Amino acid sequence: MSLEVNPVVKNIGRTCHPFIKWAGGKSRLISQIKNFIPLEFNNYFEPFVGSGALFFYMVRSSIIKRDFCAHLSDINSEVINVYKSIKGNLTDLIRELQYNEIEYYKDPKRFYYKLRADDFGFNDIKKAARFITLNKTCYNGLYRVNKKGVFNVPIGNYINPKIFDLENLTKVNKIMNLTNTILENYDYHNISTKIKENDFIYFDPPYHPLNETSNFTNYTIHGFDYNQQKRLANFFYELDKRKCKILLSNSDTTVIRDLYSSFTENIISINTLRSINSNPERRKNHSELIIKNF
Ligand SMILES: C[S@@+](CC[C@H](N)C(=O)[O-])C[C@H]1O[C@@H](n2cnc3c(N)ncnc32)[C@H](O)[C@@H]1O
């Protein structure tokens, strides 16, 4: 692998950005989180990738001084199917998206609910186009499933929403193909066998709730309760012993501070504006945590 960043990747990557809206997406916090990216590391792992805000930031800024080797994964199969479709079959995906866009503009409500009710069986490209279309036209860009795992967010209130950005998707396709981007649909712990010393891992799990009513962890039917937070903290400690560089985001709660108490000196509180709440009045400034081991 070359020690310098590939010039083609650098050029294309300059304006790459996330192609879906995602609850808990880190785009708005990038200006703060970027300060904690280590100066030097080998491979990159983002096992709660969602919309991949940090991954795309790192592509844009050519932070890695050599060809990228990024492992992007998520337990949400629909999200990973979208990444895989963009990487593997962009032409067909664009055709489906163009069809969806035309149909949506004819009669947004009718098309949205018809698409939401659709089940495309094993056609991954149609599924990916459905996911992107619903993501860009649903209420608040939310992703929420019921107990059966069926997406149940109502239509959003948009006038002429842009369903896809052809230029960006083309760049994302090129970046993922020119670089060694590995995409997996699995639980974060599966990266354990792939991680080596001096790899950099960004953990951005569903947050521990600030209180009983503030919880939003409906990315999948599995949820992410206290035992899951504990399991993740144990993994953090294990990877620390294996001399990996780890960065983790979570809510600023006593529970999280206690779970990572051995890293107290590296627990940093950052300010943010919470956007998931449907009531704008309640989208107040609050702090959340960055925890690191380096
Ligand atoms: C806070 S979001 C990540 C947001 C992401 N950093 C971004 O910029 O869009 C949390 C993600 O964790 C995923 N997730 C939940 N449980 C998981 C698990 N056990 N293993 C891997 N991913 C999981 C969800 O599907 C969701 O995409």
Q: Are 211 and 274 in contact (CB under 8 A)?
A: no
Nearest CA owner, ligand 1 atom 7: 25
DSSP per-residue codes, 185-234: ES-GGGGGGT--TT-EEEE-PPPPPSSTT----TTSTT---HHHHHHHHH
Nearest CA owner, ligand 1 atom 20: 187
Q: How far apart are CA 186 and CA 189, in angstroms?
A: 8
Q: How far apart are CA 197 and CA 218, in angstroms?
A: 33
Q: What is the pLDDT of residue 2?
A: 44
Q: What is the pLDDT of residue 11?
A: 86
Nearest CA owner, ligand 1 atom 8: 25
Q: Are 198 and 245 in contact (CB under 8 A)?
A: yes
Q: How far apart are CA 47 and CA 125, in angstroms?
A: 23
Instruction: Write the DSSP symbol of residue 79.
Output: H
Length of the chain counted residue by residue: 294
CA of 106 from ligand 1 middle (Å) equals 34
Q: Are 124 and 85 in contact (CB under 8 A)?
A: yes
Mean of per-residue pLDDT scores for the chain: 90
Q: How far apart are CA 247 and CA 33, in angstroms?
A: 9
Q: Which among 45-49, 59-63, 144-148 has the top mean pLDDT?
A: 45-49
Mutation to probe ligand 1, out of 74, 78, 189, 216 (largest number of atoms < 8 A from CB): 74
Q: What is the pLDDT of residue 8?
A: 80
Q: Does domain 7-76+166-292 have CATH number 3.40.50.150?
A: yes
The domain ranges of the chain are 7-76+166-292
CA of 32 from ligand 1 middle (Å) equals 19
* DSSP SS3 for 186: coil
Whether residue 267 is predicted with pLDDT greater than 70 in this model: the reply is yes
Q: Which among 137-151, 190-204, 275-289 has the top mean pLDDT?
A: 190-204
Lowest-confidence segment of 61-75, 120-134, 179-193 by average pLDDT: 61-75
Q: How far apart are CA 257 and CA 291, in angstroms?
A: 9
Which atom of ligand 1 is least distant from the CA of 54?
A: 8
Residue pLDDT, tens place only, 69-99: 899 999 999 999 999 999 999 999 999 999 9
Which atom of ligand 1 is least distant from the CA of 50?
A: 27
Lowest-confidence segment of 3-17, 78-92, 100-114, 235-249 by average pLDDT: 3-17
Q: How far apart are CA 269 and CA 273, in angstroms?
A: 13
Residue pLDDT, tens place only, 147-178: 888 899 999 999 999 999 999 999 999 999 98
